[in-house]
Amino acid sequence: MQFDDVRTFVAVAEARSVSRAARDLHLTQPAVTRRVQRLESSLGVALCDRRRRPFTLTPAGRAALERCRRVLRAVREVQSAAGHDGDAPREIRIGVAHALTEVTLTEPVDRLRRAFPRVTLALATGWSRDLLERVRAGSLEAAVILLPEGERLPAGLDAVAVGRERLVVVEPRRAHRTRAGGLAGLDGAGWVLNPDGCAARAMLGRILHRARVRMRVAVETYTYELQLALVARGRGLGLVPARILARSRLRSRLRVRRVPDLEFPLTIWCLRRTGDADLAPVLGALDRALGARLSRRRRPE
């Protein structure tokens, strides 16, 4: 059994996708598949159910996952103890919510790299709640996530609120406005949204369902700039962070559609597991850098 195979299996299981794990690990998809197959061969069991879509672990895979996580935690504890003088190189894995990867993290990460040149920052993207669970499980040292305003974080985590996010509904600037206002005016409208797993999409669905308003997903894609381009072409309404709209090259072709009773206030959290004192200087610097970055955001007019 090889350590890299264990780490790769955990990454695949938590990302729920070979392609996303490959991106996080900076490997090709065939390389990731070979590592998982090699671990399966060494254990003598199938860990992934390749007959099902979406990605699913077998019962043996679910049982092995927690044990593999323990192996990763044990290795990190040994590395931390060996490098207690602060001089040894250190890799810190930070999860970043999809909505925060565009624009927001570039400058803070650059500042961290300059301040801590012997620290390697490995960034992994994902949905906020998935990243939260990965921090709790110990496969990530920290994460920057979005949660609905007022939602309480689970025990066992240290968290700092570094800013707030506001989502806005966008439509083509020249779109014809219907007479029906409020949520009723959205009945049957097409939407250009993130794929399933996105907390904002789920919130939108719940709000419209309670109001008995039909929601039709016309297009789903991860990239906000592509979403805005499709909205500008009339493919549907969009739901994007206000700061993304403010910086978009397509801003002049779009407008915010203000809908009473459709609010999406979110809090941006930097979180890590309680007790990781050795990470405090680096992650504290990340908190401050990200807070400073967010305080300079422009809002759309």
Per-residue pLDDT tens digits for 69-103: 888 777 766 666 655 444 445 778 888 888 787 55
Q: Which residues of the chain does CATH 3.40.190.10 include?
A: 165-265
69 residue type, one letter: R
Distance between CA atoms of residues 172 and 228, nearest Å: 9
Does 289 score more than 70 pLDDT?
A: yes
Q: How many DSSP H helices and E strands does the chain contain?
A: 10, 9
> Hey, what CATH class is 1-82 in?
mainly alpha
pLDDT at position 243: 84
Percentage of the residues of the chain whose pLDDT score is greater than 90: 23
Q: For 195, which DSSP code?
A: P
Task: For 22-63, write each residue's pLDDT tens digit.
Answer: 877 878 889 999 999 999 998 889 999 888 777 789 999 988
The C-alpha R_g of the chain, in whole angstroms, comes to: 21
Q: And the tokens for 65?
A: 């996952």
Of 71, 123, 70, 115, the closest CA to residue 92 belongs to 123
pLDDT at position 299: 44
Distance between CA atoms of residues 239 and 224, nearest Å: 9
Q: Which residues of the chain does CATH 1.10.10.10 include?
A: 1-82
| Helix 3-15 / helix 128-137 crossing angle, nearest 10 deg | 150
99 forms beta bridges with: none
Ramachandran region, residue 156 (left: φ > 0; alpha: ψ -120 to 50; beta: rest): left
Superfamily of segment(s) 165-265:
Periplasmic binding protein-like II (3.40.190.10)
155 residue type, one letter: A
Does 194 score more than 50 pLDDT?
A: yes
Contacts with 169 (C-beta within 8 Å, 6 or more apart), sequence order = 237, 238, 239, 256, 257, 258, 259, 262
Q: And the tokens for 195?
A: 């794929």
* 103-129 average pLDDT score: 79
pLDDT at position 295: 72
Does 165 score more than 50 pLDDT?
A: yes
Q: What 3-state DSSP class applies to 35?
A: helix
Model pTM?
0.70
